[in-house]
Structure 1
């Protein structure tokens, strides 16, 4: 099935150089040169949801970085890990701020991985809808339950329970499930016409000058 032209413009050929790929997301005018902790937290959570969707998710992100010619920004596994540890909710929070270029690279990788996993994401969200319509527990659907279980496990093992919001999520399986599903919806939104750009802007709500 052919894709609309507007969708193609969101996802230029991976063969393009990194500058042209980064330029698919507009620059943001911020009070400081780097991203806020909130933006960094949201980006990392999107990537966490992608990891819960597929085994070897972080390796797939690195492969996508290479495919998109972003090796100068995301050099290797340790570098990717350090960028993600800009999320202040992390146990291994580095206190380093993402530059706009680094944030763009991570969001674009998330968008491309979401596009590759679009069928899976749609199926999981449809399963959620069906379970709720039938007043059945989400865990009754095997694939949806598997995604939610992986997300909860990733979140609990990597986030700092001393942070009040993290502690609240860890204490409530229902809240963690809702977070996991909201991130699925955001990933699916990334795959639509200008969806990646809109998700990008949403990361800076209240911060644009």
Structure 2
């Protein structure tokens, strides 16, 4: 059996945890209390039909036993890559806690109801921006984008702003989730959970 560390009480529980979802919820809550900005920022890695990896920062907007959810324009580069190769990996790094979490797995779209609910929860300006932006396409100058936002603002006025069909969410259903915590002299703690049917197996890893 793994031995509890006595020098770092934060690591003791996670090295013996059997539930990656509950552990992630705990770590996320602690990160939200300690990170100065965007505790839910994740590096999202995808690869299209050419096989070349691509990575960028996005915001994690939901997570539960089904997986990790983010939202994007499906006509963007990452949207096109996900259409070609519906699997992805992500990593969250919390510098204030000296922790990171990695996950990877297949991608599935969220339901239209989920996408509608989240879109309507966004600030009005963000909804207008999501419609105006032809994400990843060449842009002549910033004025072109701001003029498009202004035109949309005038068009919709104080009325509802519908979610565009090309804007939705994706869920990574993880086949593995790895938790890492910094240790002195690079003797870090690492635990990897691997999906096994309806449950998880756990393995402690060398740093």
TM-score norm. by structure 1 comes to 0.26
Higher relative contact order (CA 8 A, sep 6+): 1
| Larger strand proportion of the pair | 2
* Larger CA Rg, structure 1 vs 2: 2
TM-score (structure 2 length as normaliser): 0.26
